[in-house]
Chains A and B, each alone.
Chain A
Amino acid sequence: MAIKKKMANKKKKVARKSNTKSKKKIKSIKKKKKVATNKSKIATKIKTKKPSKIIHLDKNKEITKERGKKMSTETVKGGVSASLDTSHLKVPFPFKKKYGNYIGGKFVEPKSGKYFDNVSPINNEVICQMARSDAKDVDAALDAAHEAFKEWGKTDITTRSNIMNKIADVLEKNLNLLATAECLDNGKPIRECMAADLPLVIDHWRYFAGVIRAEEGSVAEISNSQYSYNIPEPLGVVGQIVPWNFPLLMATWKLAPALAAGNCSVLKPAEQTPASIMLMMELIGDLLPPGVVNIVSGFGLEAGKPLASSDRIAKIAFTGETTTGRLIMQYAAQNLIPITLELGGKSPNVFFEDIMDKDDAFLDKCVEGFVMFNLNQGEVCTCPSRALVQESIYDKFMEKVIARTKAVVQDNPLKMETMIGAQASVEQMEKIKSYLDLGKKEGAKVLCGGDVAKLNSGLENGNYIQPTIFEGDNSMRIFQEEIFGPVVSVTKFKDEAHALEIANDTLYGLGAGVWTRNGNIAYRMGRGIQAGIVWTNCYHAYPAHSPFGGYKQSGVGRETHKMMLNHYRQNKNLHVSYAENKLGFF
């Protein structure tokens, strides 16, 4: 019901006309921006941004309005087809024809002059062109970041916090535009973009803006004349490689804590979804000193590898898969720098028999909890892609979840009523198909779905997979490997011990779900499952205040939560003696 309410509010907001009345303020901003491009004045620029002036918001409305006017001439050649029309969302087509890299506070051409086509998974039509960067562009971005770090690393916490709060405000004012961009770039349903992705993005900026204000170092009194002061310090310039499943949210998970901790970043978005982050930088770029955030688009081999292996980064953060994770660790070993890795999972979602003790709202919630494997088309590292259902309720519960799965609306992701959209790329769709094929060969029973979804009305070329439920055994590969699609593999368990055994019989340990009316079972299972996050009577909750990360082969380190700050910081220990007399050794 909460989702329904949110969706209704979003619709109202979409319909609301933007209020623009601050042209004078915009002029003053433009003047300020010119001044601020001088690198030596970074500190001055930060200090001149008074929190009381919410000029950026008004200005931003204007940006949106101006972009709308420009778009009629700046959309891809010949305009986009009707299936990519965004007018019903009351926002202009969000993308420019072409994007360079965002380096040193401005968009610059890739040094090679090369671009690549960015397609929308909705129908695989080209929506814009992106810089095809190489090592030279990465170097330029690192130059800008190192230059910016001289000042940014020393800014006071209040200043950084205020800037991040302003970023959140601007993103909030442009929520619908950014959500539409994310939908077009990634293929996820617009309602998820509006009710989940973007609100979480905004919340993460605000969380880290807030948490650094409340934080402080520590002092230990070693003796009455010796004190040990612990002061957190930023690492410097960090490299960040972002996946394609939540382009803006994953970028924010990495950028917000890094910036809050005082670092500068060179970030590479995935080549499958490179555009929405550029729109975000268009909107928030001038709130930050030039060079603090640099975005270099391009291919992994050509741009990601030079970044990950550079000896000019102080840390590398990566979300992806295990083989590349190992390679990134290798590069980090060669440079002796820290890493954080998030490498996926095969998350168990465990349903105990007592959930069916009553036919009530909670049971309905459990049914939804099962069907959560469809969120983001299953392209979530914590997708509940293994469901374990107690055998005593198996038939009755499965009847309910199959019916609910069949009711999932699959259509153009730009429609507000669509619940499942397009897989992010053709090759991802091919990979999922290969697993649908394998599941059948392994002898798993298809309870629903099981194939590519053929959609019409202009979506014939898009990447659509039917929500699929397989019934089988945990030893099958469809139970052991993250398919990263709307595919769940279900098996039965006898009792709690059996459930725990199956839940932990996996190489990974990122997320898990436990559904029961019994608090003791919930606690024991929660502690027993070897995973970084165990959702109890809920699933797919990603508030900034909950840490996210994996056990076993799911990765190293955590993201989100204030503990993330220490993945982007050094500790400076100042050990001070206030005694006048020598020790007496020499």
Chain B
Amino acid sequence: MKVSATPTALELIEDLKETHGKDLLFHQSGGCCDGSAPMCYPAKEYMVGDQDVLIGEIGGIPFYISKTQHEAWKNTDLIIDCIKGMGGMFSLDNGTGRRFLTRSEICVPEGTSLN
């Protein structure tokens, strides 16, 4: 699993860095309502640990997903996009009129094939 970001998402990340500082992190959510949304927080406010997997960086910001969700999602690469919207719970994009959206592509885990 890899993570990347679209130009519009990178733009929003830069805007958030300007407002909230550069020390941010992403955590991929799961479950209902705003589930599946990538959440962005000040790094010191969100506790990540051994139960999380760091899958990469976008815009210089580390991107985490929980270990169990990583296992369920491992056949996909994540592309973080930015769309119009106002949701996002406590994520820093909330209320900006823009929000991050996770899109996905099929990937082939190392050492395996799709068949």
Contact with B along A86-98 (1 / 0, CB 8 A): 0000000000000
Q: Decide: B34 and A320 in contact? CB cutoff 8 A.
A: yes
Q: Say whether, besides A243-B33, A434-B103, A477 and B90 are in contact (CB < 8 Å).
A: no
Contact with A along B21-35 (1 / 0, CB 8 A): 000000111111111
What separation, in Å, do the CA atoms of A553 and B29 have in the docked complex?
12
Chain A residue at smallest Cβ distance from B32: A344
Most buried by A among B72, B88, B101: B72
Q: Does B108 contact A (CB under 8 A)?
A: no
Contact with B along A488-517 (1 / 0, CB 8 A): 000000000000000000011000000000
Q: Say whether, besides A330-B47, A434-B101, A477-B75, A484 and B87 are in contact (CB < 8 Å).
A: no
Q: Does B5 contact A (CB under 8 A)?
A: no
List which B30-58 residues lie within 8 A (CB) of chain A.
30-37, 39, 41, 45-47
Q: Decide: A324 and B39 in contact? CB cutoff 8 A.
A: yes
Q: Does A480 contact B (CB under 8 A)?
A: yes
List which A390-429 residues lie within 8 A (CB) of chain B.
425-428
List which B69-105 residues lie within 8 A (CB) of chain A.
69, 72-73, 75-76, 83-92, 94-95, 99, 101-105
What separation, in Å, do the CA atoms of A217 and B87 have in the docked complex?
43
A174 to chain B, nearest CB (A): 27
> Which chain B positions have C-beta within 8 A of A245?
32-33
Chain B interface (Cβ < 8 Å from any Cβ of A): 27-37, 39, 41, 45-47, 66, 68-69, 72-73, 75-76, 83-92, 94-95, 99, 101-106
List 8 interface pairs A-B (beta carbons < 8 Å), by A numbering: A299-B94, A324-B34, A324-B89, A434-B102, A438-B76, A442-B75, A480-B72, A482-B35
> Which of B31, B45, B104 makes the CB contact (< 8 A) with A438?
B104
What separation, in Å, do the CA atoms of A444 and B106 have in the docked complex?
12
> Which of B45, B46, B68, B73 makes the CB contact (< 8 A) with A477?
B73
> Which of A319, A324, A434 makes the CB contact (< 8 A) with B29?
A324
> Which of B27, B33, B99, B103 makes the CB contact (< 8 A) with A319?
B33
Q: Say whether, besides A323-B29, A507-B68, A302 and B86 are in contact (CB < 8 Å).
A: no
Q: Does A297 contact B (CB under 8 A)?
A: no
> Which chain B positions have C-beta within 8 A of A361?
none
> Which chain A positions have C-beta within 8 A of B35?
320-322, 343-344, 481-482, 484
What separation, in Å, do the CA atoms of A243 and B34 have in the docked complex?
9
Q: Decide: A320 and B87 in contact? CB cutoff 8 A.
A: no
Chain A residue at smallest Cβ distance from B48: A326
What separation, in Å, do the CA atoms of A481 and B66 have in the docked complex?
13
Q: Decide: B31 and A554 in contact? CB cutoff 8 A.
A: yes
Q: Does A430 contact B (CB under 8 A)?
A: yes
> Which chain A positions have C-beta within 8 A of B30?
321-323, 344, 481-482, 507, 553
What separation, in Å, do the CA atoms of A277 and B66 have in the docked complex?
34
A224 to chain B, nearest CB (A): 52
Q: Decide: B33 and A442 in contact? CB cutoff 8 A.
A: no
What separation, in Å, do the CA atoms of A442 and B108 have in the docked complex?
12
Q: Decide: A430 and B94 in contact? CB cutoff 8 A.
A: no
Contact with B along A330-348 (1 / 0, CB 8 A): 1000000000000111000
Most buried by B among A299, A304, A321, A483: A321
Q: Say whether, besides A272-B86, A300-B90, A480-B73, A321 and B32 are in contact (CB < 8 Å).
A: yes
Q: Does A244 contact B (CB under 8 A)?
A: yes
Q: Does A15 contact B (CB under 8 A)?
A: no
- Assuming A244-B33, A321-B33, A482-B32, what are 20 further A-B pairs, CB within 8 angstroms? A270-B33, A301-B90, A320-B33, A320-B35, A322-B35, A323-B27, A324-B34, A327-B46, A330-B47, A344-B30, A381-B33, A426-B83, A427-B83, A427-B86, A428-B87, A481-B30, A482-B35, A507-B68, A553-B68, A554-B31
A276 to chain B, nearest CB (A): 17
What separation, in Å, do the CA atoms of A441 and B103 have in the docked complex?
12
Q: Decide: A434 and B31 in contact? CB cutoff 8 A.
A: no
B109 to chain A, nearest CB (A): 12
> Which chain B positions have C-beta within 8 A of A438?
76, 103-104
Q: Decide: B72 and A321 in contact? CB cutoff 8 A.
A: no
> Which chain A positions have C-beta within 8 A of B29?
321-324
B41 to chain A, nearest CB (A): 7
Q: Does A305 contact B (CB under 8 A)?
A: yes
> Which chain A positions have C-beta within 8 A of B46?
326-327, 330
